[in-house]
Each structure stands twice: as structure tokens, then as C-alpha cells.
Structure 1
Amino acid sequence: MDVLASLLLALGCVTASMTLAALRARQLGVVAVVDVAWGLGFVVVALATTLLGAALGTAEWRAWLVLALVAVWGGRLGWHVRSRAVGEHGGKEDPRYEEMLGGPLPEVGMAAAVRRVFLVQGVAQWFVAVPLAVGAVLTVEWAWVVWLGVAVWALGLFFESVGDRQLAAYKSRPREERPPVMDQGLWAWTRHPNYFGDACVWWGLWLAAGLASGWLPGLLTVACPVAMTVFLRNVTGAKLLERTMSQRPGWDEYAARVPLFFPRPPRSA
């Protein structure tokens, strides 16, 4: 019953965060607001379910550690993407969402945005957050798996945050002075270090919150990081972004020597 209550609480948190994001998107005319709600929504879920575990007397040190990991990841992501949608330079739609909607938000309307973006993202967010909700109200069976998860999480945060900084530095250079394709640093190891890092973060959180609770919770929740990885690689992440990126000069040569998702040492041009 504790697990069921935690899952329902997580569903309520996701519903509230996506509803607020949809209202803000309607105000700004930009669906990319959902990216801010994506990271911060997980923080809300982790906080609410950890507090529930504390109230039930089942929350252990692991629950607070996982909450801290989610807060660091989600807070960094929310801060990183905020200017794209709601900051002083916001107001420009992400091409991925325009493709999903079939046009800009003012043309397709909020009903289409809710069905195709906010509802889909909300369901995905709740499903991916299941290990967080489960781990918040269960005891730790294997402490070493928690620390293994922290290590995988740290690797993912490194790839995601460093990849984002390297890309930001590339974009800050004058267009005529930079190469048409970013292929330096982590971007020489994988075409999407930020998405790969994001996947590692969630595998780490599954280890710490799901598998560390025992074989059964681990097996019942392993589909959650699998789904996150599939989304990042094949649905809303790398593959979708490359539909526009592949039109740049030099992209074919870059794609031939740098893997799509899983990194490997750089190859010569």
C-alpha cells in the first residue's frame, strides 16, 4: 500500500507540473516550456515521495540521497533550458516541437499541444519516475548498489553538463569563425553527449532507487530507464534532432566517424 500511495502521489505531482507548464506555454506561445517542467517535475516527485516516506517512517538515508541527486540533475537542467523558452532570449520554438505539432503553437492550437506534447511528456515523466517513487518508501537491500548508482549518475551528469557547456561555447562564437558541425570535446566521442549523459543519469537513479531495494523492485522498474533511453535516442531526442542537423555541410563526414549515442574514442577524419 505504501508503494501504491507513492505512485499515486507521483502521478499527482506530474499532473500538476505539466498543467502549469501548459498554462505557461499558452501564455508565451512556446511549447518548449515543457523542457523546464521536465527536469523540475522530477525534483517535485522526488521531494514529495521522500516526504511521504518520512511521514510513513520508511524513508532511509538512501531516499534523501536520491532526492539530492535528482535535485542536482533537475535543477541544472531546468536552469540550462530556461532561457530557450522563458528567459530574456526566449520565445523561439524548438524545431523538434514544431515538427511534433506540425507547425508553431499559435497555428496548431493548445489542444493539439496538450495531446501531442504535454500529455505524452507527462505519461513518460511519471513512468520514468516510478523507481524514485518506489525507492522512497522501501528499505535498502544492497547499499553497494546505491553507490554504484551514484557512480553511474555522476558519469551521466559529467557527459550532460560538460557537453552542454561545450555546445554553448561553440554557439557563442561568430558563425563565420566556427565550423558548421560541432565535433570537439565530448562531441568527438558521441554526436549527442548530453542525451547519452541523461540516459546514464536515469540508469544510475534506477540502480540507487530501484535495484538497491531488491531483485523484485529492480526487475519491476527496469523498464523505466529502458524507456528513457529509447526516448532519448530514438523518439524525442537524438534521432529527431538529427533530421534538421543532418542538413548542415560536413554532417555526413561527421556522422560517419562519430557514433550516434554510445560514445567511443575519436577517430581520425
Structure 2
Amino acid sequence: MAGGNLKNMVIAFLVPLPSILFYLAFVRPHDDHSTVAANPVSSWCAAHPLLLANALFLLNVDVLFWLIGHLLSNNWLIDLYWTVIPVMLLHYFRAHPASVANAVRSAAVVALTWVWSARLTHNYFRREGWQWGKQEDWRFSEMRGQYGKTWWWMSFFAVYLSQQVFLIGICLPMYAIHSSDQPLGIWDLVATVVCIAGVVIAYFADTQLHEFVTRNEKLKQLGEPTVPTLEDGLWGYSRHPNYFGEQLWWWGVYLFAWNLGQRWMFIGALVNSMCLGYVTVLVERRMLKQEHRAEAYRLYQKRTSVLIPWFRKSLPEPKEKET
């Protein structure tokens, strides 16, 4: 167990090196700008920051992560790097030779993104028992069983290429922020408040969920009945407050791009929200398949808002049968 954990930790630290080394060698501005101009690769990289980001993602994440996942029979890497890739993309856009940005806006988004990443990374390791690559996402495990022998190539599209669409899409506002030095405005403040609210809500929702799962595990060990559904704290107002907080964060990031006139970039947050909406359906179906909590969860569905926190519904008392 310890050997596997160490091996996965080493893999996690080594996998981004191809992109980092390439970036340092060809993209970052050099003292001798004439050398950069004379090098066709460097010239193309300097002129096409968004295309280069997609090319590096395709080669370093889609292809390399897929190969590693195939060799390990476990696609855990992409789940961990969901918490890291936005930070890497942000710093890539910020330090790229073509970057133009308002210094205060850029610094604010960097700070916010690091806080978001730290929260999500902490939650990932807490959920995994502080182990590296303990297990892959349950959705990937189910698809592995569904696709059988074809999973080895289907996983490239279902697990990795699809993640490129989502991650590059939701990080487009970070590109917009580093493509304009427009002065700060009121919408930058609104975007900052929305981002902070999203992180705070997601943190408390995930912490409450972790405490609920931990309590139930202790009850199992004692041979006592477990609590079927979490209905305390934020979970009493929304069935998926952690998802709501995460979506609030990404729509807050989009507001920065909206303020800079890049309003079409809502497409990234929208696609991500639609995907998470589908995941919500899968999660609830999974809950209803568990006999010990199905009845309680159906009642929970009737009383509690699915996503946006709201007051609980009062259900009529069941009528007593006449004797």
C-alpha cells in the first residue's frame, strides 16, 4: 500500500513536466527577442497562446494521462489534476509573451484561483484518505464495466478529451483577463464576491458531507444503524450544495470576462453546468438504488431544492386509515 502510494505520488509530480519544460524552453520571453523571432516554433507559440494551450493539453493530458491510466487500469490522475490544471492554465496565460492585463485584476484572480484550488485539492485528499490514486471516479469505474473490451480506447474520449473541452472552456475567462488591460470596474468587485461565495459554500458543504460520511463509518464499525441521508447544514436547503458552490465559482470567473466584453465565453461555464446537471441525475439514481436509503432519499427529494439553496417544503401529514 505504501509503495503504491509513493509510486502514484511520483507519477503525479512528473506528469506535467513535458508541458512545463516546453513552456520554459520555447514560450517564455527571452532576453534576445531576435532569437525568438527567428525560431518558427517560438514565433508560433508566442502568436497563438490559446492554440498552444490546447496542443499541450492534448499531448500532455489527453495522450499521456490516457497511456498511464491504461497501464495502471485506473484513471485517477485526471480527477486530481482537475484541481491543478486551472491554476497552471492561469499562470500560463499570465506569463505568456502575448499577455496584456490590468495588474490588480490579474493578481486578484490569481489569489482567488489558488484559494479555490487549495480548497478542492484538500477535499480530494481528505476524501481519498490522504492517499495518492486510491481509486478512480465511480463514474469511470461504471463506464469501464459498461464498455468492457472497448474501454481502452473509449476512455481516451470519455475521460480525457472531454475534460479538455470542459477545462479549457471554463478557463477561457482567464485568457480574457490576460488579453485586456481595461481599468477595474464595479463588475470586477461583483465577480470577486461571487467567486468567494462559491468557494465558501463549497467548502462548508464538502466539510459537512465529510463529517456525515465519517460518522456513518463509525456507526458501521459499532454495528449501529447509519443515518440514510444528510439533511443538516447547507444540505437542508439544497440536495447538492457542493455542486452549487462549484458552479457559483465558475460563473463568478466568467463575470470577469463578461466585464471585459468577452460575453461569448459563457459557453464554458454553461457546458460545465449542463455536465454537472447530468452528474447530479446520476448521483441521485445511485442513491435510490441503495435499499437502506431509497425511501428516505425520495422524501428528501420532495422536500429539498435540487441545487439552489432554498427553504424546505412542508409536506402534508399522511392520513390515517379509517378502521
Same fold? TM cut 0.5 = yes
CA–CA separation in structure 1 for the residues paired with 2:121 and 2:150: 26
What code does the residue aligned with 1:198 have?
Answer: E
Number of equivalences: 260
Pair 9,65 (structure 1): closer, same or farther in 2 beyond 3 Å: farther
* SS across alignment from 1:261: coil
In structure 1, give the amino acid aligned to 2:258.
L
Separation in 1, partners of 2:70, 2:182 = 43
Kindly provide the amino acid, as one letter, of the partner of residue 140 in structure 2: Y
TM-aligned CA distance change 1:162 to 1:14, over 3 Å: farther
Q: Greater CA deviation, 134-143 or 254-263?
A: 134-143
Asked if 1:6 is matched to 2:54, the reply is: no
Amino acid at match of 1:183: E
1:97 is aligned to 140
CA deviations over 1:194-231 (Å, ceiling 9, x no partner): 111111000110112x01212xx12x212221112111
Please say which of residues 129-138 and 78-87 is displaced more in the overlay: 78-87
The corresponding residue for 1:245 is 287
2:112, 2:196 within 8 Å by CA — same for their partners in 1? no
1:187 aligned partner: 235
TM-aligned CA distance change 1:57 to 1:50, over 3 Å: closer
State the SS of the aligned residue for 2:48.
Answer: helix
- The residue type paired with residue 109 of structure 2 is V
- Tell me, in whole angstroms, the C-alpha distance in 1 between the residues paired with 2:145 and 2:180: 43
Distance in 2 (CA, whole Å) between partners of 1:57 and 1:49 is 6
Change (3 A) 1:97 1:57: closer
User: Which residue of 1 is the match for residue 308 of structure 2?
Assistant: 262
What does residue 144 of structure 1 align with? 186
**Distance in 1, Cα, partners of 2:254 & 2:52:** 19
TM-score (structure 2 length as normaliser): 0.71
**CA shift at 1:233, angstroms?**
1.5
Distance change >3 Å, CA 57–CA 199, structure 1 → 2: closer
CA shift for structure 1 position 6: 3.1
Could you say which structure has the greater relative contact order, defined with CA pairs below 8 angstroms and 6 or more residues apart?
Answer: 1
- How far is the alpha carbon of 1:153 from its aligned partner? 0.7
| Contact kept in structure 2, 1:22 and 1:114, CA below 8 Å | yes
The equivalent residue for 2:208 is 166
8 Å CA contact 1:202, 1:225 repeated in 2: yes
The Cα of 1:161 is off from its aligned counterpart by 0.9
Distance between the aligned counterparts of 2:265 and 2:46, measured in 1?
12
Q: Which amino acid aligns with 1:149?
A: A
In 1, the alpha carbon distance for the partners of 2:151 and 2:119 equals 30
Gaps of 5+ in 1: none
Larger Rg: 2
Asked if 2 retains the 8 angstrom alpha-carbon contact of 1:141 and 1:212, the reply is: no
**Is 1:112 aligned to residue 154 of structure 2?**
yes
Residues 145-200 of structure 1: CA deviation (Å, up to 9, x unaligned): 11100111111111211111000001111243541111111111111111111110
Task: Name the CA distance, whole Å, in 2 between partners of 1:7 and 1:129.
Answer: 11
